[in-house]
Structure 1
Amino acid sequence: MKLQRTNRLRALAAGALAVSGALVLTACGSDDNTGNGGAAEKAVNNIKCDGQGNLLASGSSAQKNAMDVWVRNYQAACEQTQINYKPTGSGAGVQEFLQGKTAFAGTDSALEPGEVKQSKKVCKKGQGIDLPMVGGPIAVGYNLPGVEDLALDAETLAKIFDSKIKTWDDPAIKKLNPDADLPSTKIQAFHRSDDSGTTDNFTKYLNSAAPDAWKYEPAKKWAAKGGQSASGSSGVATNVKQNEGAIGYFELSYASGNNIPAVALDTGAGEPVEATTANASKAIAEAEIVGKGKDLTLELNYQTKAEGAYPMVLVTYEVVCDTGNAKETLPATKSFLKYAASEDGQKALAEIDYAPMPDEIISKVRKTIDGLA
């Protein structure tokens, strides 16, 4: 039976935000006791402004479009604070945070034990913690003119990205798409060249859902053979859009913003599942908090077969010090993160193809932010 579905793609409402001026930031754990410079705390349009000056953050490119909207909305209300978020990739963002260069980092993979240990040198009398703030599906976008509806399962995806399946008319793809007119076009599989939390979550899905086909350990660094690489989610999306026969993985908003069709996942449920925020939310709702203390690391269920649950998801964490944040940047950091975790901040995510955190998770995030010191 022909798969009946429509890729729900729409243009993003938010553009990139340019932030000017010099960037000056003292690392977490500073001994400076000047406070927030005397800026008055105020609330504007439901955003509670506090602190002033420049906040520098970096990391996950998957959350760039969410950050653009959050920063735009926050700075419209809080003119005394300038926020510059650089989408350098999860690995680079975590390293900059651990080097004391940023107020917080964005990462699509929770801190590893060694990174937590290292963070104790930066977070005086504390450590780095993971705050789940952004969720969403990892879309597998493709460029195959004439093929509007494409379904793939984890095993087939694993073989495509491991260069085992090399043309679009391969029997394995035909079996999943019997009514599609599949060409003999060569497959060009694009992956991330930089250390990436999106890669980590994508390979966690493949390793968990298709362990016989994907033998590589999940990691931020791409390990499979062959394929072509590009920097950042935007780089992968650009290459998929420009090259016929291409396929690549990136956060859903990059598919929507570039009008790239996305694969539906054959999970073993009754029907293949589309990459939508609603379907991703169904999968994220099955996650469990496994972090210790104030850390809110989640464990995702990549093997779910629940109807309408899209299991190839990622959660982006904002990494901060639980205690030992720089006193001159702490008020603005808390103020900005409070907005991002607020009802308004989370609502903004759903409007640009991200999945807001489930209530029981985001309520704990808000409480933890309140207690940052």
Structure 2
Amino acid sequence: MKLQRSGYLAGIALTATLALAACGSDNNTPAGGSSDASVAAGNCSSGSLTAQGSTAQKNAMDEWIKTYQGQCSNAKIDYQGTGSGAGIQAFISGTADFAGSDSALKEDEQTQADAKCGGGAALHLPMVIGPIAVVYNLEGVDGLQLDASTLAKIFGGKITKWDDPAIAALNSGAKLPATTIQSVHRSDESGTTDNFTKYLSKTAEADWTFGNAKAWKAPGGTGAAKSDGVASQVKSTPGTISYVELSFAENSELQQAKVKNGAGEFVELTGESAGKAIEGAKVTGTGSDLKMEIDYATSTAGAYPIVLITYEITCSKGSAKAADIKAFLSYTASTGGQSALAELGYAPLPESVRAKVEASVASIS
């Protein structure tokens, strides 16, 4: 099964990363760590949590909650995939105990979130690595190859036909139809959109003039709500192209394009290639805050360049649900929790990052 193989390859890739660059996957279990998805003894909460936000991590959250509640019988956790923007606003307003966001808080959001925490800063805890697939529906054209410039022109409305010379030049021998390209984007505010447009703005500056944001700014195209809505729209409509997280692309069995990276390679998206891309990510937050910066122009051989990091946004201190939040996120950040992601279309956190997340979660009070 392709989905399982992608996860398996992610483990292999990140194991190599650990050996070569002090980064690796949860498969490299540290001394005393757990290599399965079990919740650590004595780490169960007995309260309830309400959370919402990123749809990119919804499949991961569903799996984590199922395992956690199965082993912690008194715990009750509800996570709704409402989109990153909605999740942040719910956290700030106090209707969510923590939020999932595929983008870091903006300055004004950080100020509001800190105030909500009652004196303790709101933390960014990178918990899920979600590769973004460029998906399309074009019968007879598998393995489509695209670069940043061409993607920017397609989603910006400058390339409108599938047999455009720019696409043909990247796909020698492919039988491209003379049909109209129908681009699909997220209609709701989404960290996936923010990361995808950030990739375009940083790698195709001359062709993408719309910047990056959670809300789609380019003209034209068709909007679809949430990740499952995008996947459904592409699946049912010939001639479409869009962007969606790998787990949704594989669950819907969508065609995926190979994307050119900074090394000049057209790379297929797998857990392995996504794992290579995050080798260059840098922590830009301070103290227990773990905001990260992704190198979308990565020249690492074999790296797929479009990935996102989903953060859990929560209070460092001051939350009435601090003990319950700490217990649940201790599990998701554990080697066992991360190992559960491998078969879901995600790349587990590199060990160097995972250990920092685990330490940050441990500091919540």
**Could you tell me the TM-score, scaled by structure 2's length?**
0.89
Cα 1:305/1:239, change in 2 over 3 Å: same
Query: Which residue of structure 1 aligns with residue 188 of structure 2?
Result: 194
2:333 is equivalent to residue 333 of structure 1: no
Aligned 8 A contact 1:193 1:230 in 2: yes
Query: Which residue of structure 2 aligns with residue 370 of structure 1?
Result: 362
How far apart, in 2, do the equivalents of 1:74 and 1:12 lie?
24
- CA displacement 1:198-249 (0-9 Å, x = unmatched): 0000000000010000011211110001000011011111000000001111
Query: Which residue of structure 2 aligns with residue 288 of structure 1?
Result: 282
2:249 is equivalent to residue 255 of structure 1: yes
Cα 1:317/1:48, change in 2 over 3 Å: farther
Query: Which residue of structure 1 aligns with residue 94 of structure 2?
Result: 100
Equivalent runs, 1:1-373 vs 2, <5 Å: 8-9=2-3, 46=40, 48-269=42-263, 271-326=265-320, 329-373=321-365
The number of residues matched between the two structures is 336
Identity across the alignment (%): 49
Query: How big is the shift at 1:271?
Result: 3.1
How far apart, in 1, do the equivalents of 2:41 and 2:186 lie?
36
Query: Which residue of structure 1 aligns with residue 18 of structure 2?
Result: none
Aligned 8 A contact 2:87 2:100 in 1: yes
Query: Which residue of structure 2 aligns with residue 25 of structure 1?
Result: none
Query: Which residue of structure 2 aligns with residue 16 of structure 1?
Result: none
How far apart, in 1, do the equivalents of 2:295 and 2:38 lie?
39
Query: Which residue of structure 2 aligns with residue 35 of structure 1?
Result: none
Cα 1:47/1:178, change in 2 over 3 Å: farther
Helix, strand or coil at the partner of 2:130? strand
Aligned 8 A contact 1:123 1:325 in 2: yes
Aligned 8 A contact 2:53 2:83 in 1: yes
Query: Which residue of structure 2 aligns with residue 17 of structure 1?
Result: none
Query: How big is the shift at 1:75?
Result: 0.7
- CA displacement 1:336-359 (0-9 Å, x = unmatched): 101101111111111111011111
Query: How big is the shift at 1:51?
Result: 2.7
Unaligned runs of 5+ in 1: 1-6, 14-42
Helix, strand or coil at the partner of 1:337? helix
Query: How big is the shift at 1:47?
Result: 5.5
How far apart, in 1, do the equivalents of 2:83 and 2:264 lie?
36
- CA displacement 1:231-288 (0-9 Å, x = unmatched): 1011111000000001111100011000001111122535311111211111111111
How far apart, in 1, do the equivalents of 2:259 and 2:287 lie?
35
Aligned 8 A contact 1:47 1:339 in 2: no
Unaligned runs of 5+ in 2: 8-36
How far apart, in 2, do the equivalents of 1:282 and 1:47 lie?
33
Aligned 8 A contact 1:9 1:259 in 2: no
The AA in structure 1 aligned to 2:122 is G
Aligned 8 A contact 2:38 2:336 in 1: no
Helix, strand or coil at the partner of 1:285? helix
Aligned 8 A contact 1:136 1:281 in 2: no
Query: Which residue of structure 2 aligns with residue 3 of structure 1?
Result: none
Bigger radius of gyration: 1
- Report the aligned-residue RMSD: 1.8
Q: Which moved more, 1:164-173 or 1:264-273?
A: 264-273
The AA in structure 2 aligned to 1:69 is E
**Could you tell me the TM-score, scaled by structure 1's length?**
0.87
How far apart, in 2, do the equivalents of 1:47 and 1:237 lie?
39
Helix, strand or coil at the partner of 2:134? strand
